[in-house]
Amino acid sequence: MIIKLARTGMKGKSKDYLILFSGLICSVSVFYMFLSLSTNRDFITNNSVINSIQLVFWVGTALLSIITFFYILYAHSFLLTLRKREFGTYLLLGIKRKQIKQVAYYETTIIAVSSILIGILSGLVLSYLVSLGITKQLDIELVGFHPISLPAFLVTVVYFSLAFLVTSLWNSRKLSKTPILELVHANVQTEEAPS
Amino acid sequence: MKTILTASRLKKVYGSKKSNHYTALQDISFSIREGEFVGIMGPSGSGKTTLLNILSTLDQATSGTISIDGIVLSAMNEDQLSEFRSKRLGFIFQDFNLLENMTVFENISLPLSLHGHPPGVIKERVTKLAATLSIEGVLDKFPSEISGGQKQRTAIARALIHRPALVLGDEPTGALDSKNATTLLETLSTLNEEEQVSIAMVTHDAKSASYCSRLFFIQDGNIIRELKRTQTRERFYDEIVDVVSELGR
Ligand SMILES: Nc1ncnc2c1ncn2[C@@H]1O[C@H](COP(=O)(O)OP(=O)(O)O)[C@@H](O)[C@H]1O
Ligand SMILES: [Mg+2]
């Protein structure tokens, strides 16, 4: 039942989820690309020009990780806000808060796993293309670069898993704290109108 | 006849700081018997919504007690309340609160499927109730594909499917045009008379109130008058209008 509710709920907001999802895939793949370029030792040590722009990759990765973190947190919380009414109605019809949190948790897991997987795959392609671009621009030989980088892979998976975990806990806390009245009547203009 | 709801000495104070305390309900006591269609009437800001939210178990009174179907609300924790609500109460909202991504059938059956009733029983009960409310033809449609009147009857069906002890509505006709409002009120009235469904409805409109069997007038957080319907609806309406203008003076 929980799984069914999560599925129908997400389907109902599929457009919003699609936007969130594409944003996440982009962040994951760019994140991976930066990491794979900056952690590729052979590539870096064998190319003195590349060596000097290593810093750029690191700063880029750091900035990106901060931006991505807040993006995940706010985008996902926003989607749950859109669904306040739905959750309120569930509560009213007898679903317990614990179960609603499970629905939210389940959704976050699905989004997290699929965006990390797809993001890394497209990150592979992206870093390959970018490495081609760099070598062409700087007119140097492509030596030792390999888009498949184990450290980049691990850091990406761990970092995004953590970011999603924090998001999940944050939303769970928010769901616990919101009174049922606020959930049931969320976005209801008629309630505010004088009666 | 059995008493469905007893409210005694309800008081509701909003605001946490002393400076912005506002007493929305002063001292409210009344009861509803099984099979009654009770209306709570009063001007804007008189405390109707506050009262209904408390009766609905969605909000807590500052003091006073409520028992519904023999169960004292304050004795329950949140999960028990949720269970109670879903088994003993039915809700009709102004804007229906239908789940957009479920079909009419799924919407109506949700209160049953959440409690693990077998699919055969669910199908039989939904089909029967849908026929009573003339929405058997739209069971496979989504809320966005049906008319306002059909949505409203879907919402009624969802409020009734689990055979609640009490159906609650806060200005349920508030967002409807007069034709749909009349249909809703007639449907409630018929369900009340023929199936003995107990209903408590909040309204500020004399016409809606005239469908009730008993009315409480509320003003500044107190019940100031009670009116029982003894005659036809039209006569009752005139009586209500008289009381309203008398109280307005
Ligand atoms: N959450 C709240 N916090 C503070 N005051 C409130 C709140 N809800 C309602 N009130 C006040 O309580 C009074 C009664 O409100 P309400 O029960 O909504 O009246 P009605 O439904 O009869 O129009 C109003 O004066 C309103 O401003
Ligand atoms: Mg109101």
Q: Which of B12, B49, B205 to mutate to test the pocket of ligand 1 (most atoms within 8 A of CB)?
A: B49
Q: How far apart are the C-alpha atoms of B176 and B182, rounded to whole Å?
A: 9
Q: A50-59, B80-89, B173-182: which has the minimum mean pLDDT?
A: A50-59
Of B49, B53, B86, Cβ closest to residue A94: B86
Domain boundaries, chain B: 3-247
Residue B103 pLDDT: 93
Task: Indicate whether A157 pLDDT > 70.
Answer: yes
- Mean pLDDT in residue range B104-127: 92
What phi, psi does A135 have (nearest 5°)?
Answer: -60, -35
Residue in B98, B132, B126, B128 with CA at minimum distance from that of residue B113: B126
Tens-place pLDDT, residues B130-167: 998 899 999 999 999 998 889 989 999 999 999 898 99
CB pairs under 8 A between A and B: 68
Of B79, B100, B204, Cβ closest to residue A96: B79
Query: Is residue A32 within 8 Å of residue A153, measured between CB atoms?
Result: yes
Q: Is B199 left (phi over 0), alpha (psi -120 to 50) or beta?
A: beta
Task: Indicate whether A35 pLDDT > 70.
Answer: yes
Which residue's CA is the nearest one to ligand 1's atom 17?
B47
Helices (H), B68-177: 78-88, 104-113, 119-132, 148-160
3-state secondary structure B178-242: HHHHHHHHHHHHHHHHHHCCCEEEEECCHHHHCCCCEEEEEECCEEEEEEECCCCHHHHHHHHHH
Tens-place pLDDT, residues B213-236: 999 999 999 999 999 999 999 999
Mean pLDDT, chain B, integer? 91
pLDDT class of A45 with cuts at 50, 70, 90: low
Tens-place pLDDT, residues A85-119: 888 888 888 888 888 888 888 888 988 999 999 99
ipTM beyond 0.90? no
Query: Is residue A25 within 8 Å of residue A111, measured between CB atoms?
Result: no
Kindly state the greatest CA–CA separation across chain B.
57
Q: In one letter, which amino acid is A140?
A: I
Query: Is residue A79 within 8 Å of residue A173, measured between CB atoms?
Result: no
Contacts of A91 in chain B (CB under 8 A): 82
CA distance A130 to chain B (A): 42
Query: Is residue A106 within 8 Å of residue A3, measured between CB atoms?
Result: yes
Which residue's CA is the nearest one to ligand 1's atom 16?
B47
Q: Which residue has the tokens 């895939």?
A: A25
Contacts of A11 in chain B (CB under 8 A): 101
Of B49, B91, B204, Cβ closest to residue A92: B91
- Where does ligand 1 bind, in terms of residues with CB under 6 Å? A 195; B 14-15, 22, 24, 42, 44-50
Tens-place pLDDT, residues A81-93: 888 888 888 888 8
Query: Is residue B164 within 8 Å of residue B92, measured between CB atoms?
Result: no
CA A144 to centroid of chain Cα atoms: 30
Of B58, B93, B95, Cβ closest to residue A180: B58
Q: Which of B19, B22, B23 to mutate to test the pocket of ligand 1 (most atoms within 8 A of CB)?
A: B22
Tens-place pLDDT, residues B43-74: 999 999 999 999 999 999 999 999 998 899 98
Task: Indicate whether B1 pLDDT > 80.
Answer: no
| Residues pairing with B10 in the sheet | B28
Residue A40 pLDDT: 67
- Mean pLDDT in residue range B16-29: 88
Residue A191 pLDDT: 32
Closest chain A residue to B164, measured at CA: A93
CA distance B194 to chain A (A): 25
Contact B83 A97 (CB under 8 A): no
Residue in B129, B199, B213 with CA at minimum distance from that of residue B170: B199
Which residue's CA is the nearest one to ligand 1's atom 25?
B45
Domain boundaries, chain A: 2-184
pLDDT class of A47 with cuts at 50, 70, 90: low
Q: Which residue has the tokens 């614990």?
A: A98
Contact A94 B59 (CB under 8 A): no
Q: Which residues contact B215 (CB under 8 A, 6 or more apart)?
A: B38, B39, B40, B41, B209, B226, B227, B228, B229, B240
Which residue's CA is the nearest one to ligand 1's atom 24?
B45
Second-level CATH architecture of B3-247: 3-Layer(aba) Sandwich (3.40)
pLDDT class of A51 with cuts at 50, 70, 90: low
**% of chain B with per-residue pLDDT over 70:** 100
